[in-house]
Structure 1
Amino acid sequence: MHFILLFHILRCINFIALPSLQPTVYSCDNGHARFISYAPLETIEAKSNELKGALDPVNRTFLFTLNVNSFRGFNSGLQQEHFNENYLEAAKYPKATFKGKFIEDIDFTQDGVYEVRAKGILSLHGVEQERILKGTLDIGGEDIKIKSQFTILLEDHNIKIPRVVYQKIAPEITVTIEAMLKPMKE
């Protein structure tokens, strides 16, 4: 009887004293997103340092969100204004999100660089689309660095380009993301 009681007490002490064994969620609020439009008459590039994300390694799930108004670096202020008001309609659709799950089983306790595929819903301009995106996870110490590059077809998200500027905006945009996620503090 004393052995069983002692066993349960030790089990409780280990549970309380070893919080590092508890599941951890990782997050970031200053990841980087960049897009480039290579059109016949003009190249447009803009960047944001406001990519926010969370990753649950136990369930292999994630959510990333970006305020589309946060992009900077256009060729002109007028170009940025047209991007926000006319193309992405940022007042109506202020956020882009990607929510999903990693396809591969990843051992988040083992440091290393892993090639991964993430399946999820990409929401942009009010249109949700299921996508599988490739990327890398660089797990080192307590940090997880995520990188991905993919393309977005504007027509897939009902983003209309007026005929008068059709030669200045590519129908397919290259997007690059990079984020350093750290354990969330309680």
Structure 2
Amino acid sequence: MKKLLLFVCTLCWLLPPAQAQTGTYKGIGTIVFEAGAPLSLIKGTSESANGLINLETGKFSFDVPITSFQFLNSLMQERFNDKYMKSSRYHKATFVGRIIDKGPVSAKGEAKVTAAGILTIHGVARKRTIEGTLVQKGNNWQLITAFPVELSDHHIQAPRLSSGYGASTMNVSLRMPLSPTDPDPQQIVAVKKFGFR
């Protein structure tokens, strides 16, 4: 019995990290938001979105620094930070919650997921349910999602476009590569339990 126990312990020690993951993945991705017609487009891009997701429990946390958004027009960027988002006071936008539904992984390695949580923008928190896709790439995943944000829901003044109309809705898209974190010696579990393998 002691020899068997010793053999099992040795086998676990020799397992490669990919087989001893906690199911937790993290990444840095790109968020783009835009509003308005093509001739009067408001568009900001950030490559500093941070994400952490546990594929076993479904829990996740995402955030993006407001000042990280870049615009083609420097005046638009200044107004975005000072007038509309007040980024000196509200430093980040966050989405924290849990995956509540998942589809099977397709032959292409794609799985549809539905996440529910609290989206906080401009200091105002709102319950949101957002759909997305997880794409498997070897031991990594990529999260892809797109969703609208009503500015009035977060008490953000609607910017006036050159056409004279206010942009009341921002369309947000996110692409984020996710890589496994270092294994936790206290919790060695397979991602299989979450149904992704």
TM-score bucket of the superposed structures, by smaller chain: 0.7 to 0.9
> Counterparts in 2 of 1:19-98, with a 5 A limit?
19=17, 20-29=19-28, 31-38=29-36, 42-74=40-72, 76-98=73-95
Q: CA RMSD in A?
A: 2.6
| Aligned counterpart, 2:128 | 131
C-alpha distance in structure 2 between counterparts of 1:86 and 1:168, whole Å:
18
Question: Could you say what secondary structure the match of 1:103 adopts?
Answer: strand
TM-score by length of 2: 0.81
**Contiguous gaps of at least 5 residues in structure 2:** 184-197
Decide which moves more: 174-183 or 160-169: 160-169
Spell out structure 1 runs of 4+ moving beyond 6 A. Answer: 162-166
Kept in 2, the 8 Å contact 1:39–1:169? The answer is no
**Contiguous gaps of at least 5 residues in structure 1:** none
Indicate the percent of aligned positions where both proteins have the same amino acid: 31
Q: 1:180 to 1:13 in 2, by over 3 A?
A: same
Q: Alpha-carbon deviation of 1:8?
A: 1.8
| Aligned counterpart, 2:168 | 171
How many residues are aligned here? 180
TM-score by length of 1: 0.86
Amino acid at match of 1:49: E
Decide which moves more: 36-45 or 55-64: 36-45
Q: What whole-Å deviation, never above 9, does each CA across 1:24-61 have from its counterpart, x for those lacking one?
A: 421112x1000111169822111111111111111111
Aligned counterpart in structure 1 of residue 10 of structure 2, from 1, 8, 13: 13
Q: Alpha-carbon deviation of 1:165?
A: 8.3
Decide which moves more: 155-164 or 112-121: 155-164
Q: 1:33 to 1:163 in 2, by over 3 A?
A: closer
Q: 1:160 to 1:134 in 2, by over 3 A?
A: same
